[in-house]
Amino acid sequence: MIHYGCTLSEEDAISSRGAADDCGQPSAVRGVVPMTATTLGNGNGDSAALARLGDLLTRCGYGAFVGHFDPLAPDPQRWRSRAAGAPPALRPLLDLFLLNRDVPAEVLPAGLHGLLPDLAALGLLKNAPDGTLSLGGLVLLAVLGTWLFCDPPQADADFYLGDDSMALLTRMTPVAGGDALDLCAGPGLHALHAARFSRRVVAVERDVAAARLARINVDLNRLGDRVRVLEGDLYTPISGQRFDSVTANPPWLPYPSALRPPAIGEGGPDGLKLVRPILSGLGQVLEEGGIAQMVGMTWSDGRRPLARDEFSALSATAGLDMRVAALSHIALDDGVFAGRWLHALCAASGETVACCHAAMMELIADAKATHLCAYFLDARLGRGQLETVDLSGGPRSSAWHV
């Protein structure tokens, strides 16, 4: 556990009447609810406390500090290395909300203490018997102006944020003033971003815990009047509704059928397990003039996606004009990528390295592929035409950006 100094400046010290600046540090905290039986987002905490939390963290400089890091590549190692250089009064907040460290309640800013019982009741804070607090594995990020509770980047994330999340975020263009639908919503990043432009946003997420966290993030950003989070599979919860904008970041990791399936979903043998039903159902939910946008990965030969003919058939069957932009082709014999993929399979399935490696090699052999293609897809109601764009050549900063 990190040890904090107890010396406060005069302006940070609490007075005998208990008054303090929001970012000052009082000597005690009262009323934190024990977390042993609380389910995330299912407690009786005041959701308005979430909105006040964002305001306080902005005033204390937390939002600005986390905003200094590259939003396209969330990196916990960089967070840790730079946190030591943060102002002393900010470090307890960074430890609690960014670095997954246990923090003594008494060193937190004064303005936060009144919010702690509600944050605990909402399932966000855990209160240990020794008086320390933690987020239980979550982090709180400021992503291009949006507050987001999520998992830090990791292979087995339940509340996922990754570079593919950012790939969709930086490309999505919701129809201004229209209605937006976000599928496979996870912690809600894309739905929250859509709310900046859209009149109404519906986020659909199959996982109950992820949907609860998405609702927490909606309240954190004061968007409860525009964003509704529904639990269910793809289009099932919104039957009969149409939208001007549809976004999706479905699980795309090609996943061997020989391995135990992960609870939060996977991409099937070619990364298209959920892409197919999403594209097939778009004609029933898109408004005339509306647009659907999504990212994914699938097999390629190093020049084009092997699923090109299937994309063409899907566009014709669903009456969609589709454009698929190939962003990169990642060689399957790339040791770094293969190692990350293997690690992800082990984390998702719980199987041994040897078992996952054998299943991965069998999957590659069956696919007759040499590469994985990262792509961005947009679709509109039309005449069933497919257009492909190749942006894969030349230097790049990641698989998702040129």
Q: What is the mean pLDDT of residues 312-323?
A: 96
Question: How far apart, in Å, do the first and last CA atoms of the chain sit?
Answer: 41
Under the banding of pLDDT at 50, 70 and 90, the label for residue 314 is very high
CA distances from 80 to 66, 68, 89, 120 (A): 11, 13, 16, 25
Q: Can you read off the two tokens belonging to residue 312?
A: 């063409």
* Total-model pTM: 0.88
Count of all residues that appear for the chain in the document: 402
The set of residues, in sequence order, having a beta carbon less than 8 Å from that of 97 and lying 6+ positions away, is 57, 62, 135, 139, 140
Measure the CA–CA gap between 311 and 322, rounded to whole angstroms: 8
Measure the CA–CA gap between 245 and 241, rounded to whole angstroms: 12
Beta bridge partners of 147: 142
Measure the CA–CA gap between 75 and 55, rounded to whole angstroms: 25
Measure the CA–CA gap between 165 and 151, rounded to whole angstroms: 13
* Contact in structure between 343 and 155 (CB atoms under 8 Å): yes
Measure the CA–CA gap between 331 and 337, rounded to whole angstroms: 8
> Taking 70 as the threshold, does the pLDDT of residue 23 lie above it?
no
> Taking 80 as the threshold, does the pLDDT of residue 108 lie above it?
yes
Average confidence score pLDDT of the chain: 87
Q: Please write the tens of the pLDDT for every residue from 163-187.
A: 899 999 999 999 999 999 999 999 9
Confidence (pLDDT) at 278: 97
Q: Can you read off the two tokens belonging to residue 206?
A: 């199959």
Measure the CA–CA gap between 47 and 402, rounded to whole angstroms: 40
> Taking 70 as the threshold, does the pLDDT of residue 40 lie above it?
no
Under the banding of pLDDT at 50, 70 and 90, the label for residue 30 is very low
* Strand, coil or helix: 377: strand
> Taking 60 as the threshold, does the pLDDT of residue 25 lie above it?
no
Confidence (pLDDT) at 6: 32
Taking the CB of residue 77, how many other CB atoms lie within 10 A of it? 8
Establish how many alpha carbons lie within 13 A of residue 312's alpha carbon, considering only the half-sphere containing its beta carbon. Answer: 7
Measure the CA–CA gap between 71 and 304, rounded to whole angstroms: 29
Instruction: Compute the CA torsion angle 338, 344, 348, 353 (nearest 10 deg).
Output: 50
Closest to 180 in 3D by CA, of 321, 322, 293: 293
Q: Please write the tens of the pLDDT for every residue from 387-397.
A: 999 999 877 66
Closest to 236 in 3D by CA, of 293, 281, 191, 189: 281
Under the banding of pLDDT at 50, 70 and 90, the label for residue 153 is confident
> Taking 60 as the threshold, does the pLDDT of residue 69 lie above it?
yes
* Strand, coil or helix: 323: strand
Measure the CA–CA gap between 333 and 360, rounded to whole angstroms: 12
Concatenating the DSSP letter of every residue in 18-61 gives: ----TTS--S----PPP-TTPPTT-S---THHHHHHHHHHHHTT
Beta bridge partners of 243: 286
